[in-house]
């Protein structure tokens, strides 16, 4: 029950905050390019992943269809491996965003994004 609640909160956080961060970065355009993004150290890719998985989690919680869940987890035989892979992806994304936040300066929205990834990682554990 707690894991499902954390997954729901994580999905909402990821959808809303990722949408804000993606739109903000699109509006800033090339002005937001720093030395870190020039060398490829940018969490923008994880914002898009957060957008996709946040929307997926909300739709799955509303519909509660097992066929929708099998899109990311696959058939039952590979469900445990897929869940562990998603757990590791979300955990790596959270750690990566924390490191980026520490190096580039304090950004509260990216910390909230990290919290969403941690909640989804706990949900897939």
How confident is the model at residue 65, as a pLDDT?
A: 73
Quote the number of domains for the chain. 1
User: Cα separation of 64 and 79, whole Å?
Assistant: 17
Closest listed residue to residue 14, CA positions, set 37, 63, 61, 47: 47
Given a cut of 60, whether residue 36 has pLDDT beyond it is: no
Cα–Cα distances (Å) from 50 to 35, 39, 56, 77, in that order, read 24, 22, 10, 26
Average pLDDT, the chain: 77
Residues of the domain holding 75: 2-124
User: Cα separation of 94 and 65, whole Å?
Assistant: 27
Q: What is the pTM of this model?
A: 0.76
């Amino acid at each position: 029950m707690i894991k499902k609640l954390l997954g729901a909160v994580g999905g909402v956080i990821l959808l809303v905050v990722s949408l804000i961060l993606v739109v903000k970065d699109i509006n800033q355009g090339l002005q937001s390019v720093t030395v870190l993004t020039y060398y490829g150290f940018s969490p923008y890719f994880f914002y898009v992943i957060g957008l996709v998985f946040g929307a997926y989690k909300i739709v799955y919680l509303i519909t509660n269809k097992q066929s929708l869940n099998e899109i990311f987890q696959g058939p039952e035989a590979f469900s445990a491996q897929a869940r562990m892979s998603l757990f590791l992806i979300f955990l790596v994304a959270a750690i990566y965003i924390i490191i980026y936040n520490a190096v580039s300066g304090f950004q509260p929205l990216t910390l909230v994004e990290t919290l969403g990834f941690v909640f989804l990682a706990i949900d897939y554990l």
